[in-house]
Amino acid sequence: MTEAGSAPEKRKRGAKKSPPRFSREQADVRRSMLIEAATRCLSVGGIGAFTIDRICREAGVSRGLINHHFESLDGLLVEVYKSSLYASVNNQIAEAKRRRAEASDWPPEASLAALVRSNFSPDYFSRENLLIWLSLWGEIAVNPRLQAAHRELYDAYRAELAEDIAAVAIPRLRQVDAPSLARNFIALVDGLWLEWCLDESVVTPQAAEAAGFEMLEAQVGPLRDG
């Protein structure tokens, strides 16, 4: 502590004054920083890297800060789930609802196609994103709090997808079990994500998207052309 330090540009007049040892942040800002650092740890090293030490080092803060801003490490994990997965899926749901409401701009086929494509867009279908999902899946099966959040989220997504499917099938007079098809489609997407995550050479994002469309088109007819 007697050294001059490595970032002395901040000191203004008194030559004796050492630069600040840390910067204060608003509580919610710091929380976000910690959640992002924790997410990064998860995407790199899986659930085994989700520890106080590594997250704080990744965030560049001291060890005590997580328990100051979150009830526990487990609480932070739930927040990571909410901010990283919950938020992105809910975003997809909201956009789908908006499209379905704007019936003039978005015919049912285009709305459903857009929802399908969003699943395979680089925003979601990325390796780092998938590692987060994979890590959390293993925890959801064991952690009741995560399990509750997961079920709520997937129920909502399945319901929205089923509505989009029905909106296409009904005008075409097709007999389709929309809820089941929605569930099977989500399973296929998750499965393809999984395959890609464990072995990139097996499937490309393009092939995965094609597989998704094929499953739906087998029941409701063409979605991509026209």
Positions that interact with a second copy (CB under 8 A)? 45-48, 131, 134-135, 137-142, 147, 150-151, 154, 158, 180, 183-184, 186-192, 194-195, 197-199, 202-203, 207, 211, 214-215, 218
Amino acid, res. 48: G
DSSP for 30-65, written as a single string: HHHHHHHHHHHHHHHHGGGG-SHHHHHHHHT--TTH
Nearer to a second copy, 11 or 183 (CB): 183
Number of residues that bind DNA (CB under 7 A): 26
**Which tokens belong to 190?**
């998750």
For residue 180, give the nearest of 215, 139, 147, 208 by alpha carbon.
215
Q: Which is nearer to DNA, 23 or 175 (CB)?
A: 23
Residue 134 touches which member of DNA, a second copy, none, C-beta under 5-8 Å by kind? a second copy
- Residue 156 binds which of DNA, a second copy, none (CB < 5-8 A, kind-dependent): none
**Summary count for the chain: helices (H), strands (E):** 10, 0
At its nearest, how many Å lie between a second copy and the CB of residue 146? 9
Structure tokens at 35: 């959640």
From its phi and psi, is residue 61 left (phi > 0), alpha (psi between -120 and 50) or beta?
A: beta
Please, which of residues 54-83 interact with DNA by CB under 7 A? Answer: 54, 61-69, 72-74
Cα–Cα distance between 27 and 86 in angstroms, integer?
22
Strands (E), the chain: none
Residue 22 contact among DNA, a second copy, none, beta carbon within 5 to 8 Å by kind: DNA
Question: Cα separation of 111 and 123, whole Å?
Answer: 18
Residue whose CB is less far from a second copy, 61 or 168: 168
Minimum CB distance to DNA smaller for 76 or for 181: 76
Sign of CA dihedral 100, 104, 109, 111: negative
Segment interacting with DNA (CB under 7 A) among 25-33, 84-92, 130-138, 139-147 = 25-33
* Interface mask toward DNA for 33-52; x: CB under 7 A: -----------------xxx
**Chain positions contacting DNA, by CB under 7 A:** 20-27, 30, 50-54, 61-69, 72-74
